[in-house]
Amino acid sequence: MRHETATLLIALAALALVGLLVPDVLLIFFAGCLLAVALRAAGVPLARYLNIAEHWGVMIVALLALIVIGLVVWFGFATLAGQVREFTEAAPRVLRSLAELFNGLPGAEWLKRNTSPESMEPSAQAAANFALAGIGGLLGALGNVLLVLLLGLYIGADPTLYRRGALALLSPGLRPRGEATLNAMADSLRGWLLGQMFGMTFTGVFTFLGLWALGVPLAALLAILTAIFGFMPYIGPVIGAVPAVLIAASQDPSLVPWVVALFFASQNIEGNFLTPMVQKQSADVPPAVLLGAQAIFGTGLGFLGVLLAAPVAAAALAAVRVSYVEGWVEDPADATRKPLIRP
């Protein structure tokens, strides 16, 4: 028992140390694992259908995903680039309209001063510094994306190798429980991903149709932004609604209530009916826990922390349930409990 406890404490201490010293690396590794779960969710059934090895199924799914993304970018680039340019050109006008709309309220004078044409003309040095910072940030983000893609491919193609390595850090007596914990975490992430992808697709399509019907400019771009931000539950939809409301306010202030109602209806349908129906009980994260995780991760790790807070919380709850509640708090000899390791 002492030997088992010691190996568990050492593994937890090493994980905590890595999280304390290089939290971004830990989040990138988790993002790679999340991508691996997504690739295997589609690749394994495909491999069984085609009667090929699982890693080939994962590779085919990854290749098809890249092709689809490439085609969407290729054919939609001109339209999206035009909408982005229109959005950039309209931003000062939107902010000035917003300042006039909220005239007399606290902060309106500051908004007027900072959205005047003179205040929004950057100096050459400021523009150069901004461009350099943007290029550096873009290169860093691309490097992280490439690292996540490679991690997802390697782990998704042969998860048994990495699973064996992780379990080897535990004493033999703890390995069945460790394997059950990894299985539960994978199931939870798979269910969460399925629900989120389904919800994001619905939200994007619903938002586009609604904004198009209302005559709001940049409907396609705003719908894509809303779908992407929908990856972050609760916080993401609110962030995604802001650009649409601002654009509607600059176009016609009477559209604002309709746009707000559109986003409210979209999020209620997706959040209360569609996503729970898909996820069922596989990734049931209480809202308070999820919001707390987003606040903690966002404060300490920035945007990447907020982006991954929900799947981290889902995986952590699954790990606590299997390894702590079922393995320690409850009676291990209780024969009425469900088996830990999936058949």
pTM reported for the whole predicted model = 0.73
Number of H helices, E strands in the chain: 12, 0
pLDDT band (50, 70, 90) for residue 36: very high
Chain centroid offset of residue 269 CA: 19
Q: How many CA atoms lie within 13 A of 249 on its CB side?
A: 19
Residue 26 lies in a domain: no
In this structure, is residue 268 part of a structural domain? yes
Distances (CA, A) of 195 to 85, 104, 189, 191, 276: 33, 44, 10, 6, 7
- The answer to whether residue 131 is domain-embedded is no
- Tell me the two tokens of residue 314: 């889902």
Percentage of the chain exceeding pLDDT 90: 7
- 109 domain residue, yes or no: no
CA distance 120 to 114: 7
How many C-beta atoms surround the C-beta of residue 76 within 10 A?
A: 14
Tell me the three state secondary structure of residue 51. coil
Question: Is 50 exceeded by the pLDDT of residue 220?
Answer: yes
Beta strands in 162-263 (DSSP E): none
Assigned domain for 6 exists? no
Task: Please report, for residues 13, 142, 166, 181, the alpha-carbon distance to residue 169 in angstroms, rounded to integers and kept in the order given.
Answer: 12, 33, 6, 14
Per-residue pLDDT, averaged over 96-101, amounts to: 60
Number of domains in the chain: 1
Domain presence at residue 256: yes
Type of residue found at 330: E
pLDDT for residue 343: 37
Least confident range from 152-161, 193-202, 277-286: namely 277-286
How confident is the model over 165-173, as a mean pLDDT? 82
Provide the domain limits for residue 287. 173-330+338-343
How far is Cα of residue 131 from the mean position of the Cα atoms in its chain?
27
Q: Is residue 133 part of a domain?
A: no
If you average pLDDT over every residue of the chain, what do you get? 76
| Measured distance CA(34)–CA(148) in Å, rounded | 9
Report the chain's C-alpha Rg in angstroms: 24
Domain annotation covers residue 284: yes
- In angstroms, the CA 92 to CA 309 distance is 33
Does the pLDDT of residue 341 top 50, yes or no?
no
* From 108-117, 238-247, 261-270, 318-327, the region with the lowest mean pLDDT: 108-117
